[in-house]
Amino acid sequence: MPLPDAKAKLQTISGVGPKVADCALLYGLHRTECFPMDVWMKRAVSLLPRLSPANFSENAGIAQQYLFHYVRMHPELFK
């Protein structure tokens, strides 16, 4: 299923928004082009002003996992 259709279909479930849909697609269905965005990822992206999830194309979800781990291990970056 095309990614926009899959996201839309998941979001028809009560309580599922864009982030949860991206998480389900990335972690459950290995759709590595998904980039779940939460407060930690917004912080991570703020550290890389010239980059966006689109820069990582089909590997955005893999990059997201590394970025998420890094910012969670280094909260001092955001003080």
CB 25, CB 34: distance < 8 Å? yes
Q: How far is CA 78 from CA 41, 47, 52, 53, in A?
A: 12, 9, 19, 20
Predicted confidence at residue 1, as pLDDT, reads 93
Query: Which of 7, 19, 42, 79 is the catalytic position?
Result: 19
Whether 7 is catalytic is: no
The structural domains of the chain, with segments of one domain joined by +, span 3-78
User: Does the pLDDT of residue 48 top 90, yes or no?
Assistant: no
User: Does the pLDDT of residue 47 top 90, yes or no?
Assistant: no
Q: Quote the CA–CA distance of 33 and 35 in Å, as a whole number.
A: 7
User: Does the pLDDT of residue 22 top 90, yes or no?
Assistant: yes
